[in-house]
Amino acid sequence: MPRSFPLSRVYQLLEPGPVVLLTTSHRGQHDVMAMSWHMMMEFEPPLVGCIIGGGHLSFENLRRARDCVLAIPEAHLGRQVVGIGNCSGRGKDKFGAFGLTPRPARHVSAPLVAECFANLECRVADTRWVDRYNMFVLEVVQAWREPGVRAPRTLHHEGYGRFAIAAERIRLASRAR
């Protein structure tokens, strides 16, 4: 017989994907935040919905600059990811504090993160849900991936300081792509 599950923990059942590092830049000052509230919305052009708390520096920067980078770290960067997620970028160089290397992007002002196996340059495509839900719709305009990383061990936030690591890949019959 199933048991009732606390509504405050439903997030743990629907975790949306790997934790990403969202980078922004405003007036030459770079910021990076850890984010796990995101979702794919469309294949082509690739659209990503992401929710950022309105009090975050990254929220302000994204609203101003209208571009960002979604950098996808592997599990070995877990301590840096959690540290980044637990502090503010106001008055702090989080790239320097957590040993990350900003690299210039091709199409956006926000930096790539050299230590991440993938980086997605994004532009804000839609802000209609920002005022109500803090949700930005981003269009990926350039994607970068390290060729040597075949099966990345990505971090998946389960809430309350718990993470899962995804690494196992399987194939099941599906539509061809």
147-175 residue pLDDT tens: 999 889 999 998 888 899 987 778 888 77
Residue 13 predicted with pLDDT over 90: no
Say what the pLDDT of residue 176 is.
61
Among 61, 58, 40, smallest CA distance to 49 is for 40
Say what the pLDDT of residue 135 is.
98
Q: Are 9 and 159 in contact (CB under 8 A)?
A: yes
Say what the pLDDT of residue 99 is.
97
Among 14, 146, 155, smallest CA distance to 84 is for 155
Residue 177 predicted with pLDDT over 70: no
Could you give all domains of the chain from N- to C-terminal order, each with its CATH number? 7-166 (2.30.110.10)
Say what the pLDDT of residue 9 is.
79
Say what the pLDDT of residue 16 is.
76
Taking residue 162's Cβ as centre, other Cβ atoms within 10 Å add up to: 9
* Interacting residues of 131 by C-beta distance below 8 A, sequence separation 6+: none
Residue 12 buriedness (CB in 10 A; 0-12 / 13-18 / 19+)? middle
**Residue 142 φ/ψ region, left for φ over 0, alpha for ψ in the -120 to 50 degree band, beta for the rest:** beta
Residue 7 predicted with pLDDT over 90: no
Residue type, 106: R
Say what the pLDDT of residue 171 is.
84
User: What pLDDT band is residue 24 in, cutting at 50, 70 and 90?
Assistant: very high
Taking residue 153's Cβ as centre, other Cβ atoms within 10 Å add up to: 16
Say what the pLDDT of residue 174 is.
78
Question: What is the average per-residue pLDDT within 34-51?
Answer: 95
pTM of the model: 0.93
